Each structure stands twice: as structure tokens, then as C-alpha cells.
Amino acid sequence: MYAVVRSGGKQYAVSPGTIIHLEHIEGDVDSKIKFDDVLLVDSEEGLKVGQPSVEGVPVVGKILRQYKDKKVLVVKKRRRKGYRRTNGHRQLVTEVEIISVGGSTAPSVKDEEK
């Protein structure tokens, strides 16, 4: 089972156990978040496409960490004017592990060891 969710203006294809890196979402580490904007769900019953979103299909994730991404340098220059500016920017990112899509959960590491 997998789904397509929208967060921060971007779309992500997720399934239970998937780790995704999103634009910053408020929350503490190890807290659960629910994605309300589910665009598509593929399950045993078939494919459901939302117009614009699918209702009643919970996609739940767990925040693994909050961090800053790599630095992006922004350089401005105007030729023959002696104008040069350099700025740096580090975007805040949230790493999320998808726990369940529509009720189906990911197999845990403890289940695989047995």
C-alpha cells in the first residue's frame, strides 16, 4: 500500500517504513504527525484518486529529527559596476518516518528478527 501526500507545496510518494525529508514542520522528536492532504491511495481495494484530496485515509508519520540542510550560497553580481554580494542560507528540514498508510503499518525491526 502506498499514498501520495502533499506537504510544503511538494508531493511525496510514501509507504509504511519510508523516510522522507520535508520542509520544517513544528513538532518534537518522536512525536507523531498526521498528513491531512492525501492526494492518492493505492490499496487492496484499488486506486483512489482525490479531487483534490482523499478523505478518510489516515497517513501517520513519526518525526525522527529536526535539522538544518546544507548551506546554499546566493551570489549577486552586476558587471562593470563593482557590485558583488554573497549570502548563505540553511533551510530547516524535518526527517519523518511513515508509520501507517490507511491503517496498514510498517513491519518493525523486532518483527523481522523473529
Q: What is the 3-state secondary structure (H, E, C) of 60-73?
A: EEEEEEEEECCCEE
pLDDT at 56: 86
Is 14 inside a domain boundary?
Answer: yes
The residues, ordered by sequence, that sit 6+ positions from 54 with a Cβ below 8 Å of its Cβ are 3, 38, 39, 40, 41, 48
Q: How many domains does the chain have?
A: 1
Is 109 inside a domain boundary?
Answer: no
pLDDT tens per residue across all 114 residues of the chain: 899 999 999 999 999 999 999 999 999 999 999 998 999 999 888 888 988 889 888 899 999 999 999 999 999 999 999 999 999 999 999 999 999 998 777 665 445 555
pLDDT at 109: 47
pTM: 0.80
pLDDT at 25: 95
Is 110 inside a domain boundary?
Answer: no
Boundaries of domain holding 22: 2-104
CB burial class (10 A; 0-12, 13-18, 19+) of residue 76?
Answer: exposed
Is 84 inside a domain boundary?
Answer: yes
Is 25 inside a domain boundary?
Answer: yes
